[in-house]
Structure 1
Amino acid sequence: MRIAFLGLGIPNLYENSTMYTELMLEFHKDGHEVTLVGPAFEDDVKGLQTEKGVQVLRVPTLNLFQVGKFEKGISNLLLPYQYKKALKNSKIDLKFDLIFMPTPPITLFDLAVWFKKKYKSKIYLILRDIFPQNAVDLKMITQGGIIHRYFREKERKMYRLSDTIGCMSQGNIDYVRAHNPSVSKKKFHLLPNWDTPLPLSQENEIVERKNKMGLNGKFLVVFGGNIGLPQKMENIADLAKSCLEIENLLFLIVGDGYERDPFEDLVIANNLTNVKIMDYMEREEFFKLMEVADVGLISLSEDFTIPNIPSKAVIYHNAKKPILASVDTQTDLPQILEKSGSGVFARAGNTEELKSKLLYLYNNPEVRKTMGNSGYRYMYESLTVDKAYSRAQIALKNLNEKT
């Protein structure tokens, strides 16, 4: 089968990976011909390359990350046209059997539809962000406004024309079906976030690493990933402020994003000496940091009306760390944490409740160990790339049987 993946981030496959590229490499290993299409960032070689046996087409685009919402919107609207032009100029055989497309962004679906109409390609939608409702929740666009109506119609078209749709939780499936009742329920299947597990370090190596980092004796709560509106960083600042009296408690915030500067301002304004902000780390480096941590922190805005499952949970599980989650009332992450026994949660915006859950972990090392082991087991049972590949294959088999 000939497969194309249309995405937003294709790292050098010899140096790094994303969960999407890991899945595409599984297809390649199984004998499929794979082409990846993504933006060319400043350090990337532009055009067509072959990496780990797959074709990678990197396309010059406008700025897509850490820019204002207007510039980001224009950049995303232009993507399908830029990708289509680059694909045609590349001389690649464009008759693909299957197009993989994750959300975000929703705009690339126009290109996927072009493949479907011109080459009879099937479309496999990997649904992560539910847009435009997430933008409405975060007050980036107005409910019922012209922008919302435009993208809502695109969203309806996306579900209608996709041949199969992989959702990261049952809550995702239930939400999309409830708000799009005309879409056949047979299209939807579970496709939780996944990753390729990294090997655990020996205990003496972890202790030595923590000493070298000057963190010996510290109780470390680590947040890693995007620092943006969805993460509601104000809630993390409020938690840190409430914990200032705990001398050995340190919050490490690792990553970048549009809200990093405002968060840094909050830390300075409130003299949060128990917060340290660190630059984005590649996956393996961040994993080594997680191994010296005590707790992995998740934060979601209480304004969300859609269910989200942050992908950072997988690497927390991999490092055998319990999860402390500050979450909205719509996500089914709490049910997942409870069922897997891998963490605790509190309602986003309720600092007192969140602090209580943190202190529970702080005061109970055996609980932390048990939850960490449970999360590790849950990852191997449900969240590895081979499990994602198996789910995708079942979905494609069912799709072929229907056709």
Structure 2
Amino acid sequence: MKPNSKILFLALAYPKIPNSSNLYTDLMEEFRDQGHEVFVVAPTVNENEVGLNEEEGIHVIRVKTLPLLNVNPIQKGIANVLLPYQYKKAIKKYFKSDSLDLIIMPTPPISLIDVASWLKKKYQSKLYLILRDIFPQNAVDLGMMKKGGMLYNFFRKKEHLLYEVADEIGCMSQGNIDYVIKHNPTVKTEKLHLLPNWQKEIPQFSDDKVALRKKYNFDDNFVIIFGGNIGLPQKLENILAVAELFQPEDKVLFFIVGQGTEKAKIEKLINEKNIQNVVIKNSLPRDDYQNIISVADCGLISLHENFTIPNIPSKSLSYFNAKIPVLAAIDVNTDYGTIIQDEVKAGVWAPSNEPNLIKEKIDLLRSNPQLCKQMGENGYHYFVNHVTPKHSYEVVKSQVKRAK
């Protein structure tokens, strides 16, 4: 990738910097800071800002779309099918350039391959795929789609096209690479390489931790925090089953921060079962959330037990950043548990549908403060040395340079 390259990123969710951020805003800021001209195509944050806007030195084409997040599967499906047409129309109107060096496309959504393929052909650009969602199989795993059905076959063809058109494919883990190869024998394996999740480092909370714990009524509890989407993939019903195993005198508190399609259902279950040791809060700005994490005792990962694809949740990076251990309640098909427990040595894991085993892991952590501290340090060391946006930028840069 040459210096001062022109980059176009096709985003599904791209919040306004600096009000909010995610792993993709972090990466685009890194491309900007490395001297590249960055364009982003993304849904509107509010309806008054449709079109080309300058956001923190990045050219952002905001597109009015149907709701894409926190909606039911039918609404989400329709919105994703329409998305490529909406993006293509906006690009034609606002992207006035005679050159484009690199297109970066993440999954989800898989439907944007049509736009990426059109841009690649028009500008003779390289296409880098960030594979973060193996679709449509994940929808099959969650019972949202029937394998072999018309909709499944439609998206499966899109998936094949995705792997064929991309020049390079960055995968979250070796398990992801192995899965793609096993289920897609025609893919060129030399395209596949590791691109772990990344996150910008946030300074450690340096104010009064005791006061912050008191503010959120953590008191002397062992606080297990969860932040992010509350949807089908997370299946937090499994965590409620674990919470019910603890008695009030155990002083274990589950603190959940986020939004999602299953939030109302989870809140209803908490009320119906009168579960006293689970608290749910709305989403918070990243810095505020990171401060709360810093005074928690453990960071929670929860994945649906029916997954057959290897998911690697990015939220663990916030836990690494805060130097707290990770508790992973996950399916047995992901290699995430091996990475966390055996490679990084930053936490423990148990099958997500085995509440008693998860409780054993919690009991291990809360009875071993020194172990928790060491795991937190291990996670932080891994984080700053391997998975910052600069590390990810260097991977993309080297792979694009290698691609023929």
TM-score higher than 0.5: yes
1:117, distance to aligned residue in structure 2 (A): 1.8
1:137-181 per-position Cα deviation (integer Å, ceiling 9, x unaligned) = 000000111111110111011001110000011110110011111
1:253-402 matched pairs, under 5 angstroms: 253-337=256-340, 338-399=342-403
1:66, distance to aligned residue in structure 2 (A): 1.5
Letter in 1 for 2:115: L
Partner of 2:252: 249
- Which runs of 5 or more residues in structure 2 are unaligned? none
1:112-123 matched pairs, under 5 angstroms: 112-123=116-127
Distance 2:247 2:88 in 1: 53
Letter in 2 for 1:112: A
Distance 2:95 2:26 in 1: 25
Partner of 2:229: 226
1:337-367 per-position Cα deviation (integer Å, ceiling 9, x unaligned) = 1211100000120011000001111111111
Distance 1:44 1:239 in 2: 45
Aligned pairs, how many? 399
1:245, distance to aligned residue in structure 2 (A): 4.0
**8 A Cα contact 2:16 2:45, kept in partner:** no
1:207, distance to aligned residue in structure 2 (A): 2.0
1:194 aligns with 2:198: yes
My pick for the range that moved more, 259-268 or 10-19, is: 10-19
Distance 1:48 1:201 in 2: 36
Distance 1:236 1:76 in 2: 30
1:247, distance to aligned residue in structure 2 (A): 4.3
- Which runs of 5 or more residues in structure 1 are unaligned? none
1:356-399 per-position Cα deviation (integer Å, ceiling 9, x unaligned) = 00111111111111111111111112111111111111111211
1:52, distance to aligned residue in structure 2 (A): 1.9
Letter in 1 for 2:399: A
1:212 aligns with 2:218: no
1:91, distance to aligned residue in structure 2 (A): 5.0
**8 A Cα contact 2:321 2:383, kept in partner:** yes
RMSD across aligned positions (CA): 1.3
1:92, distance to aligned residue in structure 2 (A): 2.4
Letter in 1 for 2:364: Y
Distance 2:212 2:271 in 1: 28
**8 A Cα contact 1:14 1:51, kept in partner:** no
Partner of 1:33: 37
Residues 345, 15 of structure 1: CA spacing in aligned structure 2 closer, same or farther, 3 A cutoff? same
Distance 1:94 1:316 in 2: 43
> Normalising to structure 2: TM-score of the pair?
0.96
Residues 44, 220 of structure 1: CA spacing in aligned structure 2 closer, same or farther, 3 A cutoff? farther
1:216, distance to aligned residue in structure 2 (A): 2.2
Give secondary structure in 2 for the equivalent of 1:267.
helix
Identical positions, percent: 47
Give secondary structure in 2 for the equivalent of 1:229.
coil
